[in-house]
């Protein structure tokens, strides 16, 4: 038995142009023991539970004949798709007989395409990964997402064991109505500290400069990079670069603004300051940061393409094939940011603002949700559930973080230790992880106490995660996890409606205004008007909804 297989091109057209009729399910169904969805309203009913002789509730293969699962995955620009045919996924296909048809969409275009997808109801069988898919997308479109409680109980023993070992995973995935619509991830290996300042130490030494300890000293160093020929050959120098054109955030300026204490959630510009939900782009800290960036921009210390170039363009400048041309960057690690030139760069402590305080941004918690969604367009959700369960072993999670156990990304020693291998000459370790695995996205179970489960891992110490876990010690004293708006706070439908009613207008005003101030000036005269405009388009109501969700989260 094999259902009709759609081509990737046809499906993309269906999903994102909206030529086909949409479907919606009865979201009150929490998933029966058969794992079969109720009939969607406005569309034909699925053909029913995959029957005996085709689907195997236990054992392998999952299906006795090849079955294609259409899976949408949002990827970042410049990340190759080598994960789709890596050793782990190849073995998974052979083991299960389930053939993933990966439909890749770039993060730069997905927000607009997402709206069309939900408006039309033309969804794939599965959405894989929480990249650019937020709680409000789920809550606003519950009719399109299969309730998973019953499917988990009957068909997902690996996830059930993970829930027993880490109950926080179940709590994170259970929406306010008691239903699990999306599957979670637990990945301890991601560090606490986020982006860190990285500077060209060779240039500092060539100019006789010390490591900048304050923001004024950072400015002076960047000025020297621009004007004092740090390479000694008169060639191009870009003191500071970045890529904001593909930043799907309220606040592309956040990396620099963090130095001023304007730190918060990257996607929403939210923080918790003194127990209150705070919109960081409306704070005095942000005002000071924009003034600093304006000073950099008008004196040529900041890439004049900061607001127009995408991340991959910025990256190409940082890894220029001839010589280093960038002096300073806020990034993950020197090897991830500068590739072949990494040995010229060092991570430094965040420079102090005028009062001597230092601030570094941090990553969200190690548990996430919305990492795997089965839509009501999926013909046999029990197949999609069993396939997803394969990701919830530590061995699978390691390979979906670092790359497969193939002698290129990972290898196993005689004593059973899994070793992250060094990068080859034409790759960075960070690149390789993103190229050969879903990396930060998708279902995983990788607990902090993985050794208690009999798993042994050795990270490569000189690049990638191994070096990041060491380098984060430089920024760790300046992080404040309590200032991070909790990513696992749930929102009611009413709160979601309020947030969605104001979000687009607030985001448009913030991003256009801050970018204009950096590139053309005017913040001193226009700040009060900007704050008044934010309030006039609903900032207070927007914050009240976030505050209510935060208070409920803290109350447990």
Quick one: which of 27, 399, 386, 43 has its CA closest to 180? Answer: 27
Q: What is the mean pLDDT of residues 425-432?
A: 87
Give percent above pLDDT 70 in the chain: 89
* pLDDT confidence of residue 499: 92
What are the tens digits of pLDDT across the range 49-89? 666 689 999 999 999 999 999 999 998 877 777 888 899 99
Q: What is the mean pLDDT of residues 451-457?
A: 95
Quick one: which of 187, 190, 211 has its CA closest to 199? Answer: 211
> Judging by DSSP bridges, how do beta strands 367-374 and 270-273 pair with one another?
unpaired
* pLDDT confidence of residue 363: 83
With a cut of 70, say whether residue 19 has pLDDT above it.
Answer: no
**Residue 25 — pLDDT band, cuts 50, 70, 90?**
very low
The SS3 assignment for 495 reads helix
Separation between Cα atoms, residue 35 and residue 49, nearest integer Å: 7
With a cut of 70, say whether residue 29 has pLDDT above it.
Answer: no
With a cut of 90, say whether residue 380 has pLDDT above it.
Answer: yes
**Residue 235 — pLDDT band, cuts 50, 70, 90?**
very high
* pLDDT confidence of residue 53: 85
* pLDDT confidence of residue 26: 36
With a cut of 80, say whether residue 342 has pLDDT above it.
Answer: yes
Separation between Cα atoms, residue 341 and residue 100, nearest integer Å: 37
Tokens of 519: 């590139």
The phi, psi pair for 528, rounded to 5°, reads -60, -40
* pLDDT confidence of residue 120: 94
**SS3 sequence of 27-54:** CCCCCCCCCCCCCCECCCCCCCCCCCCC
* pLDDT confidence of residue 49: 62
The mean pLDDT of the chain is 87
Contacts of residue 264, defined as CB under 8 A and 6 or more positions apart, other chains included, come to: 251, 254, 270, 271, 278, 280, 483, 484, 485
Of 134-138, 296-300, 372-376, 514-518, the least confident: 134-138
> Judging by DSSP bridges, how do beta strands 196-200 and 276-279 pair with one another?
unpaired
Exposed, middle or buried: residue 388 (CB in 10 Å: 0-12, 13-18, 19+)? buried
Angle between helices 493-520 and 523-536 (to 10 degrees): 160
**Residue 266 — pLDDT band, cuts 50, 70, 90?**
low
Quick one: which of 386, 399, 248 has its CA closest to 311? Answer: 248
**Residue 247 — pLDDT band, cuts 50, 70, 90?**
low
Residue 298 half-sphere exposure toward CB, CA atoms < 13 A: 11
Q: What is the mean pLDDT of residues 21-37?
A: 35
Tell me the pTM.
0.81
With a cut of 80, say whether residue 223 has pLDDT above it.
Answer: yes
The SS3 assignment for 344 reads helix
* pLDDT confidence of residue 11: 42
Quick one: which of 176, 67, 184 has its CA closest to 129? Answer: 184
Exposed, middle or buried: residue 33 (CB in 10 Å: 0-12, 13-18, 19+)? exposed
Between residues 309 and 287, the one the model is more confident about: 287
Quick one: which of 381, 441, 390, 403 has its CA closest to 92? Answer: 390
Exposed, middle or buried: residue 262 (CB in 10 Å: 0-12, 13-18, 19+)? buried
* pLDDT confidence of residue 250: 66
* pLDDT confidence of residue 248: 55
With a cut of 70, say whether residue 48 has pLDDT above it.
Answer: no
**Residue 334 — pLDDT band, cuts 50, 70, 90?**
very high
Contacts of residue 535, defined as CB under 8 A and 6 or more positions apart, other chains included, come to: none
């Amino acid at each position: 038995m094999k259902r009709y297989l759609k081509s990737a091109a046809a499906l993309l057209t269906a999903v994102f142009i909206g030529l086909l009729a949409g479907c919606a399910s009865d979201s009150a169904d929490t998933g029966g023991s058969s794992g079969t969805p109720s009939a969607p309203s406005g569309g034909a009913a699925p053909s029913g539970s995959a029957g005996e002789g085709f689907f195997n509730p236990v054992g392998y293969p999952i299906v006795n004949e090849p079955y294609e699962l259409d899976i949408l995955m949002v990827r970042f620009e410049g990340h190759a798709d080598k994960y789709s045919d890596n050793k782990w996924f190849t073995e998974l296909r052979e083991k299960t007989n389930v053939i993933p048809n990966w439909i890749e969409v770039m993060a730069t275009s997905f927000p607009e395409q997402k709206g069309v997808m939900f408006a039309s109801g033309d969804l794939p069988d599965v959405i894989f990964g929480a990249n650019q898919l937020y709680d409000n997308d789920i809550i606003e479109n519950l009719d399109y997402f299969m309730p998973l409680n019953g499917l988990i109980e009957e068909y997902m023993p690996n996830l059930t064991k993970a829930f027993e070992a880490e109950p926080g995973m179940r709590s994170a995935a259970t929406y306010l109505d008691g239903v699990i619509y999306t599957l979670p991830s637990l990945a301890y290996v991601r560090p606490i500290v986020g982006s860190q300042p990285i500077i060209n130490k060779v240039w500092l030494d060539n100019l006789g400069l010390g490591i900048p300890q304050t923001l004024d000293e950072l400015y002076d160093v960047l000025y020297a990079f621009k004007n004092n020929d740090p390479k000694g050959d008169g060639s191009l120098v870009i003191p500071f670069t970045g890529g904001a054109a593909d930043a799907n955030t309220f606040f592309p300026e956040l990396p620099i603004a963090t130095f001023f204490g304007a730190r918060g959630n990257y996607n929403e510009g939210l923080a918790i300051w003194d127990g209150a939900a705070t919109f960081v782009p409306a704070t005095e800290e942000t005002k000071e940061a924009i003034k600093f960036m304006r000073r950099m921009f008008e004196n040529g210390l900041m890439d004049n393409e900061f607001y127009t170039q995408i991340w991959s363009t910025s990256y190409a400048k940082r890894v220029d094939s001839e010589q280093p041309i960038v002096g300073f960057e806020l990034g993950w690690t020197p090897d991830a940011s500068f590739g072949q030139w990494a040995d010229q760069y060092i991570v430094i402590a965040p420079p102090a603002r005028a009062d001597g305080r230092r601030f570094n941004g941090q990553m969200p918690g190690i548990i996430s949700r919305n990492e795997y969604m089965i839509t009501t367009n999926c013909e046999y959700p029990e197949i999609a559930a069993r396939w997803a369960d394969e990701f919830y072993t530590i061995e699978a999670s390691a390979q979906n973080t670092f790359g497969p156990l193939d002698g290129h990304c990972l290898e196993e020693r005689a004593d059973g230790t899994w070793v992250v291998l060094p990068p080859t000459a034409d790759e960075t370790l960070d690149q390789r992880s993103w190229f050969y695995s879903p990396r930060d996205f998708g279902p995983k179970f990788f607990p902090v106490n993985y050794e208690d489960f009999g798993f042994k891992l050795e990270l490569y110490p000189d690049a990638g995660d191994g070096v990041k876990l060491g380098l984060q010690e430089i920024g760790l004293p300046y992080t404040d996890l309590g200032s991070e708006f909790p990513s696992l706070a749930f929102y009611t439908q009413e709160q979601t409606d309020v947030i969605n009613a104001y979000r687009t207008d607030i985001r448009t005003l913030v991003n256009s205004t801050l970018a204009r101030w950096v590139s053309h000036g005017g913040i001193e005269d226009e700040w009060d008007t900007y704050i008044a405009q934010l309030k006039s388009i609903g900032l207070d109501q927007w914050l009240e909804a976030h505050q209510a969700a935060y208070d409920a989260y803290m109350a447990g």
